[in-house]
Every structure is written in structure tokens, then in C-alpha cells.
Amino acid sequence: MEFKNETESLVHLYIDGAFSRRELVKRLTKVTGSTAAALAAMVALDVPAEAQTPSCAANVRVPEDASDMDIVPNVEFSGEAGSLFGYWTRPRPMPENPMGAVLVIHENRGLTDYIKDVTRRIARAGFVGLGIDLLSRQGGTAQFPDPVVAGQAYNRTRPAENVADLVSAIAWLKTQDYIAPNRIGVVGFCAGGGNVASLVVNTKDLAAAVAFYPGSLPTAQELTDNMATPILFNLGQTDTGVTNRVAGILPAMLTAGKRWGLHVYEGSRHAFHNDTGAAYDPAAACDAWNQTLAFFNKFLRPVG
């Protein structure tokens, strides 16, 4: 997702949960020259209040020490340019037969605590989870503790390199004997949603894909020519730029007989699923997650 200026970029990071409202005002004051100008910019950009207290009937957050899963917080595997880093989860106890797996793709700040929690949610749902770190080529997300600097590092990544690293992650998952190689899915958020859309036109090794408010999309022609993976879009109704882009590609996908699903949440903003950010919408987030798991259950579970 491209921003017109540094002010928009900072507001987007705040909405994604990078820092508090007070920290946003502090950083915007440095950019605009005064607190008054910072507050005026926030009004002009319709900056929401602090995040609501997370509430979900399913108590969707998963603690780091959850006893019903195995967790490797710093897994490494090979990529075309060297080691790739990730956050790996697997349900416990293990089923007798190989299970499905889900690759989790982060937003534009790297492998954050929120994405790690999403990866644990994948394990709790009965799949292997792998949260990939697309800052691996730059040393990994841990090298960029400031969210602005992490965002700058992500902006240095190249789309083709991201696709190559994601394909390497899928290849690594397929080598694990506890994973069914024909039942691998992917989910991504914001920039990660855009990477999901790019991935489905560059590999046929996925059984299902879910894109939350994707920051970018391939062309309708690329999707109709190359996409072989069922894809689900979860969008916020007030996130008009993203929602309109997705709406623009759906007629061609429908005509081409592609398999896709769509949920648009009335009144929800961009990043409504991120429960560490100001745009978090508990009702929309919980429903979208349930729809996501239903999609994965349909395509990543054994048939029969």
C-alpha cells in the first residue's frame, strides 16, 4: 500500500497497532511542527480512537505458553538468498495422519506479536502454522524494533523476492512428513493480503487462500489466466480503496469460473482484524476469522 506522505504512513502504523495514540501525536508533532498541526492532521485523516477492549465469544487470542500446541518461535529454513525465519506452531497431540498447514503472511511491519498470535490460532484450529518473516533477507524483524524503521525495511523488499520466499516456505512445509503436501493454505493481512494475491498467480501448490484487506492486487487478467487456488476476501466496507479494487476484479474471475468468496463488513475499517490496533472491530474480526477457518476446513481437511 502506497502513502502520499509521512503523515499518512504514521497514521496507518497506528491503526495497525504499531504504537499508542499518544505516541502517534508525538511523532506527528515532529513531522508537522506543532501539536496543533498534528491534531488537525489526525482530524483530517479521521483517525480512530484507541483500540476497543478485545472481546470475542470464542476468546480467540492464544497465549504463548498454550499447552495444546508445540511452538518453535525461531524456526529457520532455506530460501533462494539464504536462511528464512519464521514462527512455527503445531497442534498437540498430533493426529495419526498428515495434516493441513497454513502459511501466515504479516502486514508491512514484519513478524509482529499479533501475527505470531494468529499463527497460534491456526494451530488451535488443528493445522500446522508458519508465520513467515519477509524481512529475513535484511536480518529479520527483530533487527528493527522501531515500527517506523520496520516499515521502511519492508518497503525495501521487492515483490518478486517476497514471492520467491513464500514459495520457499511452501516447499519447506511440503517436506515435513506430518504435513499433507496437497493441503497447504495461506492467509495474509494488508500487505500480506497483497502477497497472498500475488502468490496465487505464481504457484499452483496451494489448496486455499484468504486475503484480509489486501494492499495490492494482480490484474484481473493475471488472476484469470494463472490462479488455480480458491480465494476468500475479507474486507472492511469503509476501506473503500481496497474494497473497490477487489470489486473491480471479481466480474472477470466470475466469468472465468474461478472459485472465490467475499465478506464485506459494514462499518469496518482497514485492519479491522488486528486486535492490537485502533481499527479493531471485535464483531467483524471474530466473524471473519470464523469464515476463514470454515474456508480452510473445506479445502485443507481430508476428503471423506
Under CATH, to which class is 53-300 assigned?
alpha beta
Report residue 65 as a C-alpha cell: 505458553
Phi, psi torsion values for 265, nearest 5 degrees = -100, 115
Classify 125 as helix, strand or coil.
coil
Taking alpha carbons only, the member of 229, 250, 233, 195 closest to residue 1 is 195
Residues 6+ apart with CB under 8 A from 84: 76, 77, 78, 132, 133, 136, 165, 168, 169, 172
pLDDT in tens, 54-83: 445 556 789 999 999 999 999 999 999 999
Q: What are the distances in angstroms from CA 71 to CA 83, 99, 259, 293? A: 19, 16, 33, 20
pLDDT in tens, 168-204: 999 999 999 999 999 999 999 999 999 999 999 999 9
Confidence of residue 24 (pLDDT cuts 50, 70, 90): confident
pLDDT of residue 53: 47
| Mean pLDDT, all residues of the chain | 91
8 Å CB contact between 71 and 120: yes
pLDDT of residue 55: 46
User: What value does the mean pLDDT take over residues 124-129?
Assistant: 96
pLDDT of residue 4: 63
User: What value does the mean pLDDT take over residues 233-255?
Assistant: 96
Instruction: Provide the residue ranges of all domains of the chain, joining segments of one domain with +.
Output: 1-50, 53-300
Q: Please name the residue that has the C-alpha cell 499508542.
A: 20
Report residue 179 as a C-alpha cell: 504435513
Classify 299 as helix, strand or coil.
helix
Q: What are the distances in angstroms from CA 221 to CA 191, 202, 213? A: 21, 13, 20
Angle at 220 between CA 226 and CA 182, to 5 degrees: 30
126: left (phi over 0), alpha (psi -120 to 50) or beta: left
Using the CB atoms, write b or e for 46-83: b if 16+ within 10 Å.
Answer: ebbeebeeeeeeeebebeeebeebebeeebbbebeeee
Dist CA 163 CA 201 (whole Å): 10
Dist CA 207 CA 258 (whole Å): 13
Residue 122: CA count within 13 A, CB half-sphere: 31
Taking alpha carbons only, the member of 196, 186, 166, 177 closest to residue 99 is 177
271: left (phi over 0), alpha (psi -120 to 50) or beta: left
pLDDT in tens, 138-156: 999 999 999 999 999 999 9
Dist CA 223 CA 216 (whole Å): 13
Residue 104, strand partner residues = 131, 187
Confidence of residue 35 (pLDDT cuts 50, 70, 90): confident
